[in-house]
């Protein structure tokens, strides 16, 4: 006798066990997440097998936890070869049960975090709530703070009041030689930020941020490497806009090229950020501020084509979504970087870099070449400090050398 769980899932035997009553709602939940029919059927059947296994061991619904899923997979491994995606399917099931309140909160595993991790979490909250820094910036800051606390306190008690200048200097001396210049400079920036935070908390009274050594650097940074206008046109023309993924990638590349947004700004764009009537795009910048940018006609057309004929159905408010289940927003700037890298490879373009930032540099260079002022470029790019925009005014000596007129009379 067959038992219909979902309009696309039929079981050959009646479901049993503590999860039998929840299989239909589980099927409905993962169906709206964009999983294909095969994955939907597989997930529900694994849930049914897991429920039967729980019944055989006398486990009630109130007692289910993640550890039972782990033990079930071990059981499967002893009797037959499990599929590689079984673990993910069970993880989705456990998450669903928790979200629905089937598994009570007290049954969820309690994770004891260390003092260092608690300190890091409090610093994260400070950066997010007080400094209003972008999520991607916070992600880059946290590992350095975690490493600093480990270097100073090890696994022992975290006593921030005991920090002194020697601790700061020693940490930089140990870490800096292991890092690339850009990473080392970021580390010192993070360290100053953290030490200002510790002083803000009242744990220290001295300005230890001033004790952070300066990493050696050149005074004239190299000119940013931007993708050329011709390469951008060739790249955009190479995208296959007949497919849903192609429409998404084309819209992403066009937003990068025309508006010069950072990867994080594109990734975290939401549907409500697009004002179709006013022809504007509201962007949350690196510093957490909102800026309004005009929406060029070609960018608006590309976004509309993707939203109408390429964007999967999803409860997410993000503009750009993953193309495969689990259908959610792109996970971060690295996901957008992958879109750019694959597009460049398909088009056979030898661009200055494989990252998304080259479009930002390319736009600034084109604006400068067409007579835009530094303040105009700064406004478009969302720079908080004029010095950041000044790097685009540096002279490319190599390019000028090729244009130099020969010395009268030739070489001697």
Catalytic residue among 22, 41, 247, 360: 360
> Of the residues 6, 262, 322, 361, which is catalytic?
262
The reply to whether 286 belongs to the active site is yes
Q: What are the φ/ψ torsions at residue 4 (nearest 5 degrees)?
A: -85, 120
CB 257 within 8 A of CB 363: yes
What's the half-sphere exposure (Cβ side, CA atoms, 13 Å) at 126?
17
Q: Which of 284, 322, 357, 361 is catalytic?
A: 357
- C-alpha span between 257 and 231 (Å, rounded): 11
Q: Is 242 a catalytic residue?
A: no
> 140 catalytic, yes or no?
no
Active site residue 383: yes
Q: What is the 3-state secondary structure (H, E, C) of the chain?
A: CCEEEECCEEECCCCCCCCHHHHHHHHHHHHCCCCCHHHHHHHHHHHHHHHHHHHHCCCCHHHCCHHHHHHHHHHHHHHCCCCCCHHHHHHHHHHHHHHCCCCCHHHCCCCCCCHHHHHHHHHHHHHHHHCCCCHHHHHHHHHHHHHHHHHHHCCCCCCHHHCCHHHHHHHHHHHHHHCCHHHHHHHHHHHHHHHHHHHHHCCCCCCHHHHCCCCCCCCCCCCCCCCCHHHHHHHHHHCCCCCHHHHHHHHHHHHHHHHCCCHHHHHCCEHHHEECCCCEEEEECCCCCEEEEECCHHHHHHHHHHHHHCCCCCCCCECCECCCCCCCECCCHHHHHHHHHHHHHHHCCCCCCCCCHHHHHHHHHHHHHCCCCHHHHHHHHCCCCHHHHHHHHCCCHHHHHHHCCCCCCCCC
User: Per the residue annotation, which of 41, 248, 311, 383 is the catalytic one?
Assistant: 383
**Active-site residue, from 123, 197, 250, 392:** 392
Question: In the annotation, is 357 catalytic?
Answer: yes
392 is catalytic: yes
Catalytic residue among 45, 286, 318, 341: 286
Residues labelled as active-site residues: 262, 286, 357, 360, 383, 392
């Amino acid at each position: 006798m067959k038992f219909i769980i979902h309009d696309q899932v039929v079981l050959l035997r009646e479901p049993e066990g503590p999860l039998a009553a929840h299989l239909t709602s589980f099927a409905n939940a993962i169906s709206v997440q964009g999983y294909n029919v095969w994955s939907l059927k597989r997930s529900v059947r694994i849930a049914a097998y897991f429920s039967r296994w729980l019944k055989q061991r006398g486990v009630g619904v109130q007692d289910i936890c993640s550890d039972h899923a782990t033990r079930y997979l071990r059981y499967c491994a002893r009797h037959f070869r499990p599929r590689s995606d079984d673990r993910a399917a069970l993880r989705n099931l456990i998450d669903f049960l928790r979200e629905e309140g089937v598994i009570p909160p007290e049954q969820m595993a309690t994770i004891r975090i260390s003092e260092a991790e608690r300190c890091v979490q409090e610093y994260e909250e400070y950066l997010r709530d007080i400094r209003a820094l972008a999520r991607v910036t916070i992600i880059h800051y946290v590992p350095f703070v975690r490493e600093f606390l480990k270097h100073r306190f090890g696994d022992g008690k975290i006593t921030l009041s005991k920090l002194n200048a020697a601790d700061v200097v020693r940490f930089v001396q140990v870490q800096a030689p292991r890092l690339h210049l850009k990473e080392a400079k970021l580390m010192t920036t993070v360290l100053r930020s953290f030490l200002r935070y510790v002083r803000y908390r009242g744990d220290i009274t001295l300005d230890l941020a001033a004790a952070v050594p300066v990493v050696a650097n050149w005074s004239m940074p190299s000119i940013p490497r931007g993708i050329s206008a011709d390469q951008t046109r060739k790249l955009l023309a190479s995208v296959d806009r007949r497919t849903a993924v192609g429409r998404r990638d084309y819209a992403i590349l066009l937003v990068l090229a025309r508006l010069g947004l950072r990867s994080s700004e594109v990734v975290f764009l939401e549907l409500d950020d697009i004002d179709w009537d006013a022809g504007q795009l509201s962007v949350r910048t690196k510093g957490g501020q909102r800026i309004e940018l005009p929406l060029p006609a070609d960018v608006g057309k590309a976004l509309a084509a993707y939203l109408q004929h390429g964007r999967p159905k999803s409860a997410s408010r993000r503009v750009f979504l993953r193309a495969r289940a689990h259908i959610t927003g792109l996970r971060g700037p690295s996901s957008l970087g992958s879109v750019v890298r694959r597009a460049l490879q398909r088009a056979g373009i030898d661009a200055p870099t494989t990252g998304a930032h080259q479009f930002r540099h390319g736009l600034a260079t084109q604006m400068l070449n067409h007579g835009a002022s530094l303040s105009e470029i700064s406004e478009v790019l969302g720079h908080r400090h004029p010095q950041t925009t000044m790097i685009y005014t540096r002279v490319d000596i190599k390019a000028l050398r090729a244009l130099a007129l020969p010395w009268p009379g030739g070489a001697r």
